[in-house]
Amino acid sequence: MEYHLQTNIELIVGMIHYVKRKDLDLNKYDACINNAINSRIYGYSWYLDIVADNWDVLVLNDYEAVMPLTWKKKWGIAYLYQPAFIQQGGIFYTTQLSAATQKLITDKAFEKFKFAEITFNYFNNFFLCKPCRVR
């Protein structure tokens, strides 16, 4: 059982990709936001282009789920921040994701960014994952 769980985790982690804004497939990305169970205007590419200095995305599979990452750099350290006029960010998904999968996506964000002050939307429930520590 433990091996099976570890294998599933490795598969999911392998399907989460960091995509720079310039390399993003905007049609697929915006379609994911549009069709998401938890769709919010704050996730659309055109909206993020207006309010965020820089943003990239974590993509699960072929845009099944996305997590826009709004970031800045200070003293050479890249960090996630909450732009003005974005009330709810986080993970947007077209099919329900388990808390464990949501946690894996947020963990992937912390591989690149060691500090974050961001909000999630009320559909994100990765903090229910046991054991789970939010950094």
Mean pLDDT of 40-50: 97
Mean pLDDT of 48-61: 97
Residue 112: name the closest of 4, 3, 17 by CA: 17
Determine the Cα–Cα distance for residues 14 and 6; give it in Å rounded to an integer.
12
Residue 55 is assigned to a structural domain of this protein: yes
Residue 12 sits in a domain whose CATH number is 3.40.630
pLDDT band of residue 3 (cuts 50, 70, 90) is very low
Per-residue pLDDT, 125: 79
Determine the Cα–Cα distance for residues 35 and 85; give it in Å rounded to an integer.
22
% of the chain surpassing 90 pLDDT: 64
Domain range for 43 is 2-128
Contact between 129 and 101 (Cβ < 8 Å): no
Mean pLDDT of 80-102: 92
Residue 104 is assigned to a structural domain of this protein: yes
Residue 37 is assigned to a structural domain of this protein: yes
Number of C-beta neighbours around residue 117 at 10 A: 8
Q: Considering its fold, how many domains does the chain have in total?
A: 1
Mean pLDDT of 81-106: 92
Residue 8 is assigned to a structural domain of this protein: yes
| Residue 113, Cβ density class (10 Å: 0-12 exposed, 13-18 middle, ≥19 buried) | middle
- Over 90: is that where the pLDDT of 120 sits? no
- Over 50: is that where the pLDDT of 133 sits? no
b vs e for 73-83, b when ≥16 Cβ sit within 10 Å of the residue's Cβ?
A: eeeeeeebbeb
Contact between 79 and 115 (Cβ < 8 Å): yes
Residue 134 is assigned to a structural domain of this protein: no
Contact between 58 and 108 (Cβ < 8 Å): yes
Residue 135 is assigned to a structural domain of this protein: no
Residue 82 is assigned to a structural domain of this protein: yes
